[in-house]
Amino acid sequence: KAGVTQTPRYLIKTRGQQVTLSCSPISGHRSVSWYQQTPGQGLQFLFEYFSETQRNKGNFPGRFSGRQFSNSRSEMNVSTLELGDSALYLCASSANTGFQETQYFGPGTRLLVL
Amino acid sequence: AQSVAQPEDQVNVAEGNPLTVKCTYSVSGNPYLFWYVQYPNRGLQFLLKYITGDNLVKGSYGFEAEFNKSQTSFHLKKPSALVSDSALYFCAVRSYSGGYQKVTFGTGTKLQVIP
């Protein structure tokens, strides 16, 4: 099976712009979670989508949003970019939602905001 | 509040020696504990998890972890370290809070295995 894929792998934006990141989960997986990784804040959970519905949400402002399509692919959008949004954004998929599920991570999208 | 502590920023160990990467946690209710490894410029890879049952959990690449409820710890161990084990290791805890699943990661421990 192909692993989790994320596009693009690298992205440079300027403050105030918006960005959309894409995640394709492992075939058959219905849950997609997004994480932000920065040197200062470490790894933080953004949100989880399962069967096109947001199931869980971390503590991020409303500028961060996401959605999931019927084929389980997910997109994450960040509007009005700030310098502090520069980070590695990781996507993870699992077969189902729930604590017991093993998550498989993609390689990440590295976003640089200038 | 839920928290995870990885008290060591870096652990150095000689190849062939046993290794331990420490993790302690604080959570209301039953903890669901995970270990992940991250190689440079790569995403996280799942190593092992504790949900319930046996306190000694075996995972990928020869790693294991021991859940200790009284000490609220979930230390990662391996009997014999390999140079290829050198990477960044993250401990994480998941629980329910206010109807939502909450995920908290530790700050990570860099493992350096010296040949």
**From A60-64, A70-74, B41-45, the region with the lowest mean pLDDT:** B41-45
Q: Sort strands A109-113 and A10-13 into parallel, antiparallel or unpaired.
A: parallel
Letter string b/e over residues A84-100, b meaning 16 or more CB atoms within 10 A of that residue's CB:
ebbbbbbbbbbeebebe
pLDDT band at A98 (very low <50, low <70, confident <90, very high): confident
Q: Provide long-range contacts, Cβ within 8 A and 24+ apart, for A59-62.
A: A60/A36
* Position A76 pLDDT exceeds 80: yes
Residue B29: its pLDDT value, please? Answer: 80
Q: What residues of chain B lie within 8 A of the CB of A92, using their CB?
A: 43-44
B-interface mutation test, from A96, A99, A100, A101, most B Cβ less than 10 A away: A99
pLDDT of residue B96: 76
pLDDT of residue A57: 87
Closest chain A residue by Cα to residue B90: A43
Q: Is the peptide bond between A8 and the residue preceding it cis, with omega within 30 degrees of 0? A: yes
Q: Is B85 helix (H, G, I), strand (E, B) or coil?
A: helix
Cβ–Cβ < 8 Å for A103, B92: no
Per-residue pLDDT at B1 exceeds 80: no
Q: What is the mean pLDDT of residues B53-57?
A: 90
Q: What is the pLDDT of residue A100?
A: 78
Res B11 pLDDT > 80: yes
Q: Which of A45, A97, A104 sits opposite B103 (nearest CB)?
A: A45
Q: Per-residue pLDDT tens for B70-100?
A: 999 999 999 999 999 999 999 999 887 776 7
A99/B100 touch (CB, cutoff 8 Å), yes or no: no
Q: Which residue of B has its CA nearest to A108?
A: B43
DSSP collapsed to 3 states, chain A = CCCCEEECCEEEECCCCCEEEEEECCCCCCEEEEEEEECCCEEEEEEEEECCEEEEECCCCCCEEEEECCCCCEEEEECCCCHHHCEEEEEEEECCCCCCCCCEECCCEEEEEC
Q: For residue B95, list chain A residues with Cβ-Cβ distance below 8 A.
A: 99
Per-residue pLDDT, A96: 86
